[in-house]
Structure 1
Amino acid sequence: MNVAEFHQNIEQIWLSIEEQLEQQDCDVDCDTQGSVFTITFADRSQVVVNKQEPLLELWLAGKNGGFHFAFKNQQWVTSDGKLFWQCLEEACRAHGETVSFA
């Protein structure tokens, strides 16, 4: 994956996150500032998803911890095999929102 494809892939993920949260009536606000996508929950806590261009990685941070994902076999995965979408669901749950990312 080159840098342009990396940015396009991440921006599609951010759009998908926002759309799915909206479709499932989650009480959250989404905001993008540069390379950082933030989900703010009703209690003002946040989940942050950001691009790490130099490493071509996707990072996720929330109450349940921080994760680094690399793009392998057409999906974002941690070094120990955790999938991005599953980790994002768990992060949202830790912040009080049950959501399913398909």
Structure 2
Amino acid sequence: MNITEFHQNIEQVWQKIEEDLEEQGIDADCETQGSVFTITFDNRTQIVLNKQEPLLELWLAGKLGGFHFAFKNDDWLTNDGKRFWNVLTETCAAHGETVHF
């Protein structure tokens, strides 16, 4: 994956998150500032996603901790094989929101 593809892929991920939260009626604000995408829930807790361009990674931080994802086999995965969408779902639950991605 080159840099352009990396950014396009991440933008699609962020767009899907916003759309899915809205479609499911989740009370959350999504904000993008540079390479950081923040989801702020009604209870003021946050999940922060970060583009790590030099490593071509997507990072996620929330109540469950921090996770680093690399794009492998058409999916964002941690080194131990956790899927991004599953971790995001579990992290949203830890923040008090039931969301399906």
> Which TM-score band applies after superposition, normalised by the shorter structure?
over 0.9
Provide structure 2 residue ranges, at least 5 long, that are not aligned to the other structure: none
Aligned residues with identical type, % of pairs: 72
The residue type paired with residue 94 of structure 1 is: A
Report the TM-score, using the length of structure 2 for normalisation. Answer: 0.99
The residue type paired with residue 98 of structure 1 is: T
In 2, the alpha carbon distance for the partners of 1:77 and 1:33 equals 24
> What SS does the corresponding residue of 2:89 show, helix, strand or coil?
helix
In 2, the alpha carbon distance for the partners of 1:80 and 1:9 equals 21
Give 1:43 deviation, angstroms: 1.2
The residue type paired with residue 13 of structure 1 is: V
In 2, the alpha carbon distance for the partners of 1:42 and 1:17 equals 16
Aligned to 1:62: 62
In 2, the alpha carbon distance for the partners of 1:29 and 1:90 equals 18
The 4+ residue runs of structure 1 with deviation greater than 4 A are none
Report the TM-score, using the length of structure 1 for normalisation. Answer: 0.98
> What SS does the corresponding residue of 1:97 show, helix, strand or coil?
coil
Aligned residues: 101
In 1, the alpha carbon distance for the partners of 2:93 and 2:77 equals 19
Provide structure 1 residue ranges, at least 5 long, that are not aligned to the other structure: none
In 2, the alpha carbon distance for the partners of 1:43 and 1:53 equals 31
Alignment of 1:78-93 (within 5 A): 78-93=78-93
RMSD value, Cα = 0.4
In 1, the alpha carbon distance for the partners of 2:66 and 2:87 equals 10
In 2, the alpha carbon distance for the partners of 1:25 and 1:72 equals 31
Give 1:56 deviation, angstroms: 0.1
In 1, the alpha carbon distance for the partners of 2:43 and 2:20 equals 20
Aligned to 1:36: 36
> What SS does the corresponding residue of 1:100 show, helix, strand or coil?
coil
Aligned to 2:23: 23
